Amino acid sequence: MRLTSTFKKAPRLLVAAAAVSTLTVGAVALTGSPAFAGSLTSPTFSTSNGAANVSGTGNTATYTINFITSTSWVASATGSVTFTVPTGTTLSGAAVTAFGLGGCTIGTATQAVLTVTVQVQSCTVPINTPVSIAVSGFTNGTQITAFPSAIATNSATGTSVDTGNAAAVTFGSNQTIATVIVPDTLTFTNSATAVTLLAVPQIVATTTPVNLGISTNAKSGYTLQACDTAGALTGPTGPGPNTIPQSSNGAATALPTNGTSSAFGAYAVATHGTGGSGTFTLTTPWSGTTSSLFLGYNALCTAGAGSTVATETGPVSNDLLAITNGVGISNTQAAGTYTGTITYQVNPSY
């Protein structure tokens, strides 16, 4: 019975020993794993020229990085320091100045996309070593927001020792956008706010021209309308004709001199002002008016025959529209004063 008991315990001891052996092998494998990169102490990035190139080229600069190593840095024949630069930055004819890297071979600086690589080779840089590297030959990029450069020391190509992000540096825009706001303007002048005609039957009586001046910066010019809202000149009450009607507003016609009818109308002359490249013209049927052919005013300053007198197609200084009013009356037109109001309306197109 004792021999049997002793024999049963032996396998248990062997199994335990095998388990210990397995754990020991695992511990050795973990010890051989690569170390992760450390963090650089006090990394900084600065530029000798903080003006970005929002447009154009220029604004060359030297970029300087500073840091303190946090890990002993063994730089191989492909060792380097890398740092990132803002969008649009370019590097040409680089020159490198380094401090704190005695015994190292300092090679060239090259740029790939936004990463600059400075060759630092064949040396060992102790822990807690202050390092400063300045690279000239940069032309600033287009980025105008704050930019934090990512810096890294590398023992070999693609193998980082220490990494860190420098405090952000803001590159200022090299442009000022100038905005000029030109307000809408229109100047209107009327040489006569009232005119008087002395009418004699069978003779056309006219006024001196009413000169309307218009200046505007409306880029598509304007339309000028004229109307007599009453549609006629109104006179005294009582027997006999007490209104003088408008002449035809569909076509320019001669005012009556036959002594049997009366009519009131006008003719117009357009003179283009200065400046601009537009055209000032009389519209139909006003374009058919002359010193002997008159047109009646429309009753409303809206679209319709005779309402639009002239058009201008661009900005202008001092367009001049001369309107001469005339009347012809019959032998039986009642004596008295006849009045009406002519309204001018300018519609600019800005």
As a whole number of angstroms, the distance between CA 316 and CA 279 comes to: 9
Query: What residue spans of the chain are helical by DSSP H?
Result: 2-31
Sorted by where each begins, the domain ranges of the chain are 38-170, 186-348
pLDDT band at 20 (very low <50, low <70, confident <90, very high): very low
Q: pTM for the whole thing? A: 0.65
pLDDT in tens, 85-130: 999 999 999 999 999 999 999 999 999 999 999 999 999 999 999 9
pLDDT at 301: 87
- Across the chain, mean pLDDT equals 89
Give the bridge partners for 118, in sequence order.
81, 109
pLDDT of residue 304: 64
Burial class (CB in 10 A: 0-12, 13-18, 19+), 152: buried
Confidence of residue 306 (pLDDT cuts 50, 70, 90): confident
- DSSP for 69-98, please give it: -SS-EEE-TT-EEEEE--TT-EEEEEEEEE
Query: How many Cα atoms within 13 Å fall on the side-chain side of residue 191?
Result: 13
The answer to whether domain 38-170 has CATH 1.10.3470 is no
Query: What are the pLDDT digits (tens) for 240-295?
Result: 789 999 999 999 999 999 999 999 999 999 999 998 889 999 999 999 999 999 99
Q: What is the pLDDT of residue 52?
A: 94
Residue with tokens 């704050």: 146
Q: Tell me, what's the pLDDT at 14?
A: 33
Interior/surface letters 109-127, b for 16+ CB within 10 angstroms, e for the rest: bebeebebbbbbeebebee
What residues pair up with 345 in beta bridges, in sequence order?
225
Residue type, 199: A
> For residue 285, is the peptide bond before it cis, meaning its omega torsion is within 30 degrees of 0?
yes
- Averaged over 225-242, what is the pLDDT? 90
DSSP state of 264: E
Give the tens place of pLDDT for each residue, 22-72: 333 333 333 333 345 799 999 999 999 999 998 877 899 999 999 999 999
Q: What type of residue sits at position 194? A: A
Query: Whole-angstrom distance between the N-terminal and C-terminal Cα of the chain?
Result: 118
Q: For residues 348 and 223, what is the distance between their CA atoms, to the nearest angstrom?
A: 7
